[in-house]
Amino acid sequence: MVVEEEAKLESKSKPMVNENLRFGERALSAGGAAFISAVIVNPLDVVKTRLQAQAAGVPYQGSCRLGCFEPNSTVAHDLRGSSSPGVCRITGSATVCSDHQYKGTLDVFIKIIRQEGFSRLWRGTNASLALAVPTVGIYMPFYDYFRNVMEDFTAEKSPSLRPYVPLVAGTIARSLACISIYPVELARTRMQAFKGTQRGVKLPGVWKTLVDAVNPVKGSSSNGQNYRMLWTGLGAQLARDVPFSAICWSILEPTRRSILSFVGEEPRAGSIIGANFTAGFVAGAVAGAATCPLDVAKTRRQIEKDRDRAMKMTTRQTLAEIWRDGGMRGMFSGAGARVGRAGPSVAIVVSFYEVVKYGLHHFHQQ
């Protein structure tokens, strides 16, 4: 009797009726959610990437080619004493730059708008859309599938393992999505990291960025080693996204179920949006903050242009280098922008996805 009551309570607290939507319908819902999210949060993504690239000492194009980084870092050592025009001089323990150094999230916004134009805050949006729509289109439907299968299995075989289902389902689904679309993620990061020299000048798009990654020297021939560059940093990407997904779903799933259970009525569009947006915002912000060092490592590996160094770097080595060059501050470069992006992004994607599923479910019923 007690088991039956628990089962009823669990069923009532699910965020959605266990509808039988087709995979294509789920993918369409997820793709629409990803499109909206990518456009809204792209400026914060650009800001986060700029801060992380600056901490890595990326040689920017323009009047000041170096970001703000520790003078004893590897990049500083390589460029120390450079007399090339437009390159910051490094004297003693300080860098002599113009006002191209970023001092924080708000400062990045101001300087990008003032020096490059307002539209540059949406630099890489095409890559973000090319990445987000198929990634989320794979991620969310597969999460639903694995969660439903695992919940049915654990309910019968091992009820004590049921709380861990969101963690495992999110991990597997995110891994599949990341591996499938990774080269586009590489292109997006490179497009966002490097600043332009002049307003109105069209910068390389996704395809040109990928071609440049494979053939950094014009006229050079491609080979298998070159194409491996398209997967540079995949390990760091997985090391970031798998824990992010595990943390996110471990918080999001029970939180939204608790909210809907507290409301105590049959889920409607309003309550579904509210519960999923609230749970998604909290889960995304916490997961974004917890995995920030891994995001910094991923960015640093993706923007590395030394082919031999890029192929030999590991996530562990990159994290050690970041700690050596910048300490705790370096490990959490762009944390404010990352948290500010992750919370709304997860909230928008999950709430839009679930409410569209709700609408499709009732459309089929009618």
Contacting residues for 69 by C-beta, under 8 A, at least 6 apart: 54, 55, 56, 57, 75, 76, 95, 325, 326
Distance CA 364, CA 20 (A): 10
- What is the residue type of 16? M
313: left (phi over 0), alpha (psi -120 to 50) or beta: beta
First to last CA, the chain: 35
Q: Decide if pLDDT at 335 tops 80.
A: yes
Average pLDDT over residues 179-204: 70
- The 3-state secondary structure of the chain reads CHHHHHHHHHHHCCCCCCCCCCHHHHHHHHHHHHHHHHHHHHHHHHHHHHHHHHHCCCECCCCCCECCCCCCCHHHHHHCCCCCCCCCEEECCEEECCCCCCCCHHHHHHHHHHHHCHHHHHCCHHHHHHHHHHHHHHHHHHHHHHHHHHHHHHHHHCHHHHHHHHHHHHHHHHHHHHHHHHHHHHHHHHHHHCCCCCCCCCCCCHHHHHHHHHCCCCCCCCCHHHHHHHHCCHHHHHHHHHHHHHHHHHHHHHHHHHHHHHHCCCCCHHHHHHHHHHHHHHHHHHHHHHCHHHHHHHHHHHCCCCHHHHHHCCHHHHHHHHHHHHHHHHHCCCHHHHHHHHHHHHHHHHHHHHHHHHHHHHHHHC
Q: Which fold does the domain 20-55+101-365 belong to in CATH?
A: Mitochondrial carrier fold (1.50.40)
| Distance set, CA 67 to CA 73, 83, 266 (Å) | 12, 17, 54
The domains of the chain are located at 20-55+101-365
pLDDT tens, residue by residue, 100-115:
688 888 888 898 898 8
Residue indicated by tokens 């922008």: 337
Distance CA 239, CA 58 (A): 22
Q: Decide if pLDDT at 69 tops 50.
A: no
**Range in 115-129, 185-199, 337-351 the model is least confident about:** 185-199
Distance CA 269, CA 160 (A): 31
Among 204-213, 219-228, 331-340, top mean pLDDT goes to: 331-340
- pLDDT tier, 141 (very low <50, low <70, confident <90, very high otherwise): very high
- pLDDT tier, 259 (very low <50, low <70, confident <90, very high otherwise): very high
* Phi, psi torsion values for 125, nearest 5 degrees: -65, -40
| Distance set, CA 15 to CA 19, 27, 34, 236, 263 (Å) | 11, 18, 20, 32, 11
pLDDT tens, residue by residue, 260-302:
988 876 778 889 999 999 999 999 999 999 999 998 988 888 7
State the pLDDT at residue 197: 52
